[in-house]
Structure formats: C-alpha cells, structure tokens
Structure 1
Amino acid sequence: MEHWESGPERSFLTISNILKENKSMAKDSFTFLTKYLATFSGEAEESSTLPEAKEEAVRAIIEFVKSPDMFQSDLLDMPVVGQLEKDGKYSLVYQLLKIFLTQRLDAYLEFHAADSTFLKSYGLVHEDCVTKMRLMSLVDLSSTDSGEIPYSLIKETLGITEDEVEYWVVKAITSKILDCRMDQMNQIVIVSRRTERVFGQSQWQALRSKLAVWRANVANAISTIQASKPDEGTQGVQGVTTR
C-alpha cells in the first residue's frame, strides 16, 4: 500500500484539505498539512514515496509565504521539502522558502528581479512579500548578542526612510514576533525576545542547552543560599547561659 493511503498520514492531509476551504481556518489547515509532510522521514525505505507528496510540499511553502501572520516554520528540515531543491520544476519554490526563512529583504528583491512572473504564477503578491520580508529581516537583525539594533541599520536593511523605522518596529511588536523597546534618544531598539524564523532540530538542541544551564544556575543559587543560612541548631543555643 502506498505511503499516503494509510495510517494517520492520510487523515492529516484530509483534515487540512477540509479546513482550507474556510479562510478563517487557514492556520489550522497549514498545521495539519505540515503534520502530513513530517511523516515522510526520507530514509532509504521511504525515499520512493517522497515524490508522492511533492505537490503538497509546494502548497505548504506557498501558503507559508502568502500568510501575513506566520513567521516561523520547520519546513526546511523536512526531507519531503528538501527534495524540491534540485527539482527542475520546483527549485525556485524551495529557493523562495529559503529566502523567507534564512535571508533578508535584499535577497528577496534580487530573486524577484530575476523572475518577476514567478510570484504571479503561484498567486503571490510582490508588495505583500516585501512587507513580510521586512518583518522577517527585522527579526533577523535582532539576533545579535547585545540585543540592540541601531535605527540606521533598520533603515538600511528594510529599505525604508528614517521616519518609517518606528512604524516597522511597532508592526513587528503587534505581529508578536518581537518584544522590545525603542530608545529614541540613542536611536536604538533594545530587544528582549524574538521569534525564531526556523525552529527545527538545532533550535531544540540549543533550547535544551539553555535550559540545562538555567537549571544548573538555579541549583547553584539554592546551594549558595542554603550554605549562607546559620545552622538552626547553633542558633537555638545562642544566648543560653548556665547557672
């Protein structure tokens, strides 16, 4: 029996197709579509089944790029999506996904300039893509260790005027991809939290490492506090005199 005809895999795809008919359920439809695509492991015994899901992988990429409120995806980690990279028909679709998840606005503009008809063939609107890529680029700028982004760098990277910088920062905040504050005096944005555009295996490993460090720090703090407390037994006999 073919891979896509059995088990919960087919159910994920069926649910996704039902939900996509309702625009208000677009995110839920996408979620079930990615669950379906994730069932293709890419291992040797599965490699012959990957082409069966090629069209669905393309649909997932286009839906992600088109969505104005989805800024994170693990599609690049999926073997069923990776097969598109060297596909004669769909390699540009894969390239577009890679730009949206790993690069900045300048890369997208170069991509569009090289083939301006590509977006239209998939129902994508250039202006909408520019808007999303500006937000994606702003998130990428926030990845510095200092968490500080100069206004001048935002202006240059997003291709906007100086007066538009704070508008785009606020737009990122309302889109819930950044938590930050603007230091207008020093012309910098100070970021406290950002959304990871790609959240795959490497991001999970990094998160586990951070949690391990956090647990160790908490344990050390508790040990230090306990060590600094006076011994209760000693405290109880202090001030007692014998007659």
Structure 2
Amino acid sequence: MDSSYEEDPPTGPVWVNNSAVFIDLTLEDQAYELRAHLKQLGAEISEEMSPKGIEDDLHKIIGVCDVSFTKDPKELNDTDIESALNAIVSMLILIPLERAENLILAFSEKLAKAPGYRIGNIALKVLWLLFQSLDPRSTMRYHVYYHLIQIAKNVEQIRSIFKGVDDLRKQFSACEITTEQMQKLLRLLHEVLLLCGESELAAKVMVELLGTYTKENASHAREDAQRCILTALADPGTFLLDPLLSLKPVHFLKGELIHDLLTIFVSEKLADYVEFYRNHKEFITNQGLNHEQNMTKMRLLTFMQLAENAGEVTFDTITSELQIEEKEVEAFIIDVLKTKLVRARMDQAARKVYIGSSMHRTFGHPQWQQLRDVLFAWKTAVQHPLECMATIAEAQLTCH
C-alpha cells in the first residue's frame, strides 16, 4: 500500500445533489467499496487492493467504471449510477493534483463516451461537479471543460455549461492556458452551439476566437475567418455584420470572393448581391450558402438602408430596389416588423411606408456623431424646462 498518507489518511466527501457529505472512510476504504460495487455489476476487476497504491487502484476503477452505465437500464436507477461516479470524483479531488492529472483525463474521457440522453445527463452533472471542485488555478479545468462541452453536445445542454463569452473568460482567468488551447476550445464551442441552434452565441464565440489572433499571426487564421463570415451570413438572425470587417483575420481575406461577399452584406444593396451571384453561382453553392436565404436577408438589409435616413419609402421604391411585386410588399413589411430592425407603419392608400426608426447597417464615425447630436439636442431640450422650474421656485421663495 502507498504509505504517503502517514497515520491519518484523508477521508472523502460523498456528493448528494451537489452537496458534500463527509463520511469517515479513508481513500483505501472508498476504493475497496467501489471495487466491490463494480465487480458486482460485472466489471472485470479484483476486490483486492493494488500493492502499487491508491492511484493505481483508482486507475483500475476508472477503467471499468462505465459498467455502471452500460448495464441494462432496468437493473440500475439514476441515483445508483450517479452515486458511483460521484464517489470517484470524491476520491480524485483528495489526491494531490500532480498525481491525479492522468486519472482526471481518463475519467473525463470515459464520461464523454456516456451513451444516450439519460446517461449523458448524469455524466454531465458528475463532470461539472469535478470541474467546480478543481482549484481555479489548475490547468486541468481546461481539459475537464473541453470534455464537458462534448457531453453537452450529445445531450443538447450546452446552455447549462456555457453562459457566454464573459463567463468563459472568468472560468479560466486564474489558470494559465495557452492561446492554442483557448482557440481549440472556442472552435469546439462554436461547432456545438451551431448544432444546438444557438447561432447568436456561436457568432460571439467565433468573434472571440478571431480576436485571439494578433497582427503577426492573423494570416494563419484563414479557415477560422472564413467560417466566421459564412456562419454570420447564413444566420437569419444576424444583421449587424460591420464589426467583422475590423477583425484582423478577416482583413487578410481582402481581395478574395468571401470578403467581397461580406462587403456586399455589410453596406451594399440587393442589386449588388444579384450581380455577384450571377458571376459566382458555383462559389455560393460550394460555400454551403442558400441563394434564396441570401436574397431574403439582402432584401431586409436593403430596406434597412433605405429607411435609415428617410421618413417614408414609396411602394415603387420598394418594388424596384427589392425586386418584388407590389402584391408582395405588405407581407414583406410584416416580415420586417417582426425582426424589430425597423419601426414603421404602412399606408396602402398612399402606397407608402412611414418610418419610425431603423437600425443602422453599419455603425462608424458618422453614426456616433449622429448619436452625439441627438443626445446633445435631448440635453438642451431638458435643460430649458429645468431652468424655468428653478426660476419659478426661486420667485416663490422670494415672495414668501
């Protein structure tokens, strides 16, 4: 047996509903009980303790722990499965980290292979518990989190693990992980978020990924930059595309068709996209983009541009610029209003659409200047009645 624990080996917690309940069992006793439990389930493991020490015992236990969730579901309930796996967690966190790293990796890989939705959710809970139990400074948190994302993909529970880019930064703020590791994690997150229908979060993750490249290595981010652009173009809910142009890896694509296409979606009109498609149909198809979806999005973006600086837009302008028939205008305006990109009302008798407000397709210096002017005018308008009220109040005090 390993004698490194001296006379009083540590006892470990049993986790129940994410709460630690400490019991008076040594690591060796816990290992013995786990061996017996797994052997009873049919695992090929001896009940005899390893002469090499507790780490070797735990290595063997982890090697066959999947027997607890590969048995006939009728023979084990969820509580039995979770308790056995949490017992392994309770042992892992008590072993010095430098000696537990390979064990943590092996356990994470084992749980990442948990089959089905039911077992996958149990594995997700158990591995999340391990992640939370690790020292925030430990780089092992990265490896556990990576496997957590893989499990979350299988059970479509990515939002239970990933709360957003800011939260992700906080999770790893105390530990030193390499830029390459973070890029690998962000790529996986982007893939999983898309599969789970979280396109808005996926876009933010991709922007974060591209932001990890510097001017010196941005030219190596070609594939990530292309993926970022294609994801944003294909997402029916993404309309503000201007920020992508400022990303260094995207800048390195300037002069290529993918960059030309992005520029059209950022600032040009439907007619420009139609011309691009006419000349590069094969390119659009090869990139996995849908032409009809592109047309729909470009119509919305073109209308936004028409509405930005106009109090009203005529039906004739809409049919001409958006290449639709007049009978389709009403349905189109309804679709626009659903996006909340534009506030407007339609006057069919006057054959006009009156614009209340519109989002900007691009937000650069002119838009900031416009916002400044609006806020300054608002401040001036508010200041006058305040001064009047102050004058009245002063006059009343003088009279009394």
TM-score by length of structure 2 reads 0.51
**SS class of match (1:71):** coil
* 120-129 or 68-77, larger mean C-alpha shift: 68-77
Distance 2:253 2:209 in 1: 16
Tell me: higher relative CO, structure 1 or 2? Use CA pairs within 8 A at least 6 residues apart: 1
Distance 2:303 2:351 in 1: 15
Distance 2:330 2:336 in 1: 10
Contact 1:54-1:80 at 8 Å conserved across structures: yes
Contact 1:4-1:52 at 8 Å conserved across structures: no
Give CA-to-partner distance per residue, 1:200-224, whole Å, 9 cap, x none: 5664454345334433432234223
- Unpaired segments ≥5 residues, structure 1: 41-45, 237-243
Contact 2:203-2:228 at 8 Å conserved across structures: yes
Give 2:252's aligned residue.
83
Equivalent position to 2:290, from 125, 129, 150: 125
Contact 1:16-1:32 at 8 Å conserved across structures: yes
**SS class of match (2:356):** strand
Distance 1:5 1:209 in 2: 44
Percent of pairs identical after alignment? 28
* 103-112 or 227-236, larger mean C-alpha shift: 227-236
Give the drift of 1:31.
Answer: 1.1
| Alpha-carbon spacing, 1:212–1:32, altered in 2? closer, same or farther (3 Å) | farther
Contact 1:77-1:200 at 8 Å conserved across structures: no
Equivalent position to 1:27, from 192, 200, 213: 200
| Alpha-carbon spacing, 1:162–1:20, altered in 2? closer, same or farther (3 Å) | closer
Q: Matches of residues 87-236 of structure 1 in structure 2 within 5 Å?
A: 91-144=256-309, 146-199=310-363, 203-204=367-368, 206-228=370-392, 231-236=395-400
Distance 2:211 2:200 in 1: 16
Distance 1:169 1:78 in 2: 33
Distance 1:209 1:126 in 2: 40
Give the drift of 1:123.
Answer: 0.6
Distance 1:123 1:196 in 2: 27
Give 2:192's aligned residue.
18
**SS class of match (1:61):** helix
Alignment-mate amino acid for residue 69 of structure 1: G
| Alpha-carbon spacing, 1:201–1:142, altered in 2? closer, same or farther (3 Å) | same
Contact 1:30-1:60 at 8 Å conserved across structures: yes
Give the drift of 1:111.
Answer: 0.2
Give the drift of 1:21.
Answer: 3.1
Give the drift of 1:98.
Answer: 0.7
Distance 2:368 2:185 in 1: 27
| Alpha-carbon spacing, 1:172–1:80, altered in 2? closer, same or farther (3 Å) | same
Give CA-to-partner distance per residue, 1:160-191, whole Å, 9 cap, x none: 11111111111100122111111223221111
Contact 2:308-2:359 at 8 Å conserved across structures: no
TM-score by length of structure 1 reads 0.81
Contact 1:20-1:29 at 8 Å conserved across structures: yes
Distance 1:234 1:27 in 2: 60
Alignment-mate amino acid for residue 339 of structure 2: S
Give 1:5's aligned residue.
180
Give 1:37's aligned residue.
210
| Alpha-carbon spacing, 1:109–1:213, altered in 2? closer, same or farther (3 Å) | same
Alignment-mate amino acid for residue 62 of structure 1: L
Give the drift of 1:27.
Answer: 1.6
For the pair shown, the structure with the greater C-alpha radius of gyration is 2
Aligned residue pairs, count: 222
Give 2:240's aligned residue.
72
* 200-209 or 128-137, larger mean C-alpha shift: 200-209
Distance 2:373 2:187 in 1: 34
**SS class of match (2:281):** coil
Give 2:45's aligned residue.
none
Give CA-to-partner distance per residue, 1:52-87, whole Å, 9 cap, x none: 22211111111111111211121122222111113x
| Alpha-carbon spacing, 1:9–1:229, altered in 2? closer, same or farther (3 Å) | farther
Alignment-mate amino acid for residue 192 of structure 2: I
Distance 1:206 1:35 in 2: 29
Distance 1:203 1:162 in 2: 32
- Unpaired segments ≥5 residues, structure 2: 1-177
Contact 1:66-1:124 at 8 Å conserved across structures: yes
